[in-house]
Structure 1
Amino acid sequence: MSRRGLIASAAAVLLIGGGAAAVALLVPGEGAVAGGGATPLPPATAAVQRGDMVDTLTVSGVLGHGAERPVVNSAGGTLTALPAEGAVVRRGGELYEVDRDPVTLMYGPKPMHRTLELGVSDGADVRHLEKNLKALRHDLKVDDHFDWSTVNAVCAWQKAAGLPVTGEVTKSQVVFLPGEVRVQALRAATGTTVRPGQTLLTVTGVGKIVTVQLDAGRQSLAEKGAPVQLQLPGELELTGKIAAVGTVAKPAEDGASTVEVRVTLDDPAKAGTLDQAPVSVELQSETRRDVLSVPVEALLALRAGGYGVEVVEGSSVRVVPVKAGIFAGGRVEVSGDGLTEGMRVGVPAT
């Protein structure tokens, strides 16, 4: 078999990890055919190109709605109603019922820790309650003070919600969560007796996101706001952006440490009804600007070590040693003395 035939039949060894690849080829000599004589022209050539190259790393993720959050009950009695799994509950909506009294969702960064009533000390929790009442179209001034305008607004809300009208708000009536939620799972059944401190259901965010448990050693590859490519089941390809990168490493089952990376979809509707589905996430691991590159199959392994390319100039062929850089999109970054943009290098026939 000819030297170029050996090259054409040799497989490119793809080193999966950051999209890296290398071609390991046995070359009889540099500038000569085995047995002597001039180097024959290769069956095909490709241009040396100059431009930007982006190396990538593909990792596994899960398409869902993010981390589950428990909804902790503060009422005691009989559980008389629960939402359906997958239901979305918004501000002022009912999360569940105890003794036929609804427990309402309101938005706030922290759980309620006390009863809010006339005479209670000023605090951020009062302000959050008033902001919710205002958003539910009840008339009051929003501040940190629980005054008579707050009492009147609470009474109006309780009447509209079907709660006993008392003018005070207890932990058994309201659950504060950061925003609207989607019911992920039910942890109790209607008709059972429930107690304070019991988790009755778990919720997630409403929007679909992809969650990746990324090896902590590769955290630098995930930059907030960076674009990513996603491949879902059924060959469905989507795009997204990194929304958050965890800062605390957590131990994984294999003994490694990981950080959580969350990716939002540019067009969530394209994901359809998929939930808890495996996803391949392509991260940009390295970008090289204004570099020379050749097709991966143009690389030759030199007898003395390292790599080279066959530069074709008219009817002559010479081997130029090169240093290989990153691999991306079937090309490899190369640098070497005398190598310039536009040169033709030998490649196997296609």
Structure 2
Amino acid sequence: MTAQQQEPAGGRAKAEDTDSSDTDGALGGAGRGRHPLRTSLLVLAAATAVGAAGVAATGAFPGQAKSAGTPRATGPQKTAPVERTTLTRTETVDGTLGFGTPTTVQQAATGNQPDDGGDSGGGSAQQPGRNTGNSNSSQEAGIVTWLPEEGATLSRGDTVYSVDEHKVPLLYGSKPFYRTLRPGVAGDDVETLEKNLAELGYSGFTVDEEFTSGTAQAVRDWQDDLHREATGEVAPGDAVVASGARRVAEQRTSPGALAGGEALTWTGTDRIVEVELEAGLESLVEKGTKATIGLPDGGTAQAEVTDIGTPSGGQETSGGGQGSEDGGDGGAEEATLPVELKVGSQQKLGRYQAASVDVILKAQTREDVLAVPVNALLAEPGGGYAVETRGADGRSRRIPVRLGMFADGKVEVSGTGIEEGLDVGVPR
């Protein structure tokens, strides 16, 4: 029996007793699923319907009839109307709140010296990464002289690291500088440089793909402010290009070390949610899918799927039997799909920097259906379910119903006599 075909009353009615043709395969569907420790509104439905059946069995509703359609002396003591509504079943999966997977910033071992008014012997026009292979020569490789603290936020123009007091700033763009930019050079990397110079307050040029004399003068002014030799040219490694502001995750070197290796790792500045989605749930997500994030303190935040990675796992694992160190059986690793979600309002996340969270995804929606509270269901002696209502004569009677989707404490119902606004009995 599947999760969408279980009856809500702890086995009192068989699945084949319910007509599924009117519910598009949604019979007994859970209102909320849970993976990997799945909990479903189906469980709630089962519990509440068992309670409703118990009410019927103990005569909590006075004068209850023994068969459908038989008049009763009195009506239900408490009622709720049949509603026309939209029901949405959800799946809840485990997610991790954080700043995302860090990326590495590689240093450029330029060996450049700060501008002290003397001849620097080539300055910033020298190609980065110049290292003769002589590890004993700090003059060749350069020495790391400064790094930002872990957890620091870097914005456009801020120093990412320094080598020999040579500041390497952060600029915004889609790809790193890969060639020396000088008058006469054209391309989208020139436009990236000019956009950043303009945002940092420099002028005298037009932001386009042409490196002009005006661009060169703005570069010299920028280099002066960085206390670097004012060459008017920008070499690869003179700046680190990233898509936006960054948060330092970990220092990978320290002041005094030879330059040329990893400087640090960093992430974006906004907290995101990452999910390893189980196989079989891929259809629940695509870019732009909305989700609700459940926080450890009970709060919620709205999020949107921004990235879907490549499925991983699904490979047979070795081990098991007598050759396994842990004595366990070998098996197949379950395939998962990495999903990233952007949280709309960072303020909704409070002060959480890293936490395990619930990610609530829409699994199925039924629009324009008739629904009643789950606890309005009464188990019929011969199988199936009914609701209790009061006739025009004031006497109570049972109306058999067919069940559809369960969601949000309600259940979709249909059947002869079931219509919007009809009052049905519920336990007090």
- Per-residue displacement from partner, 1:299-343 (whole Å, max 9, x unpaired)? 345565544434443323224031x22222211111222211232
Match of 2:3 in 1: none
Contact 2:75 2:389 in 1 (8 A): no
User: For this pair of structures, how many residues does the alignment match?
Assistant: 332
Match of 1:242 in 2: 304
Q: 1:218 aligns with which of 278, 281, 294?
A: 281
Contact 1:46 1:344 in 2 (8 A): yes
Match of 1:53 in 2: 87
Match of 1:232 in 2: 295
- Per-residue displacement from partner, 1:257-313 (whole Å, max 9, x unpaired)? 2131313133x2242331111111222222222211111122345565544434443
**146-155 or 309-318: which moved more?**
309-318
Q: 2:154 aligns with which of 58, 70, 89?
A: 89
- State the alpha-carbon separation in 1 of the partners of residues 390 and 65 from structure 2: 11
- State the alpha-carbon separation in 2 of the partners of residues 39 and 277 from structure 1: 57
Contact 1:126 1:145 in 2 (8 A): yes
Q: How big is the shift at 1:93?
A: 1.0
1:86-125 matched pairs, under 5 angstroms? 86-120=151-185, 122-125=186-189
For 1:282, the aligned partner's letter is: I
Ranges in structure 1 where 5+ consecutive residues have no aligned partner: 1-6
- Per-residue displacement from partner, 1:122-163 (whole Å, max 9, x unpaired)? 221111112111222222222222232222111111111122
- State the alpha-carbon separation in 2 of the partners of residues 163 and 301 from structure 1: 83
Q: How big is the shift at 1:32?
A: 1.7
Contact 2:277 2:339 in 1 (8 A): yes
For 2:96, the aligned partner's letter is: V
1:34-53 matched pairs, under 5 angstroms? 44-53=78-87
Ranges in structure 2 where 5+ consecutive residues have no aligned partner: 1-8, 13-27, 35-39, 58-63, 110-140, 316-332
Q: How big is the shift at 1:251?
A: 3.7
When the two chains are superposed, the root-mean-square deviation of aligned CA atoms in Å is 3.3
For 2:406, the aligned partner's letter is: F
Q: 1:291 to 1:138 in 2, by over 3 A?
A: same
Q: How big is the shift at 1:57?
A: 2.0
For 1:230, the aligned partner's letter is: I
Match of 2:417 in 1: 338
Larger Rg: 2
Contact 2:32 2:89 in 1 (8 A): no
Q: 1:245 to 1:294 in 2, by over 3 A?
A: farther
1:235-274 matched pairs, under 5 angstroms? 235=298, 237-246=299-308, 248-251=310-313, 254-266=333-345, 268-274=346-352
Q: 1:134 aligns with which of 198, 207, 210?
A: 198
Contact 1:238 1:265 in 2 (8 A): no
- Per-residue displacement from partner, 1:8-64 (whole Å, max 9, x unpaired)? xx9x9978517441436479999627xxx9799666443322222222222222222
1:70-89 matched pairs, under 5 angstroms? 70-75=104-109, 76-89=141-154
Match of 1:69 in 2: 103
Contact 1:105 1:175 in 2 (8 A): yes
Match of 2:224 in 1: 159
Matched, 1:17 2:29: no
The ranges of structure 1 where at least 4 consecutive aligned residues each deviate by more than 6 angstroms after the TM superposition are: 12-15, 26-30, 37-41
- Three-state SS of the structure 1 residue aligned to 2:371 is strand
The two structures have a TM-score, normalised by structure 2, of 0.68
Matched, 1:275 2:353: yes
1:302-321 matched pairs, under 5 angstroms? 302=380, 305-313=383-391, 314-321=394-401
More strand by share: 1
- Three-state SS of the structure 1 residue aligned to 2:280 is helix
Contact 1:40 1:317 in 2 (8 A): no
For 2:91, the aligned partner's letter is: L
Q: How big is the shift at 1:177?
A: 0.6
Q: How big is the shift at 1:69?
A: 2.1
The two structures have a TM-score, normalised by structure 1, of 0.82
- Per-residue displacement from partner, 1:242-261 (whole Å, max 9, x unpaired)? 15142643448952221313
- State the alpha-carbon separation in 2 of the partners of residues 129 and 188 from structure 1: 28
- State the alpha-carbon separation in 1 of the partners of residues 259 and 419 from structure 2: 76
- Three-state SS of the structure 1 residue aligned to 2:148 is coil
Q: 1:232 to 1:189 in 2, by over 3 A?
A: same
Contact 1:311 1:320 in 2 (8 A): no
- State the alpha-carbon separation in 2 of the partners of residues 56 and 32 from structure 1: 37
For 1:113, the aligned partner's letter is: Y
Contact 2:95 2:273 in 1 (8 A): yes
- Per-residue displacement from partner, 1:188-220 (whole Å, max 9, x unpaired)? 22221122xx32211111222323333353344
Contact 2:93 2:359 in 1 (8 A): yes
- State the alpha-carbon separation in 2 of the partners of residues 298 and 62 from structure 1: 38
State the identity as a percent.
38
For 1:275, the aligned partner's letter is: Q
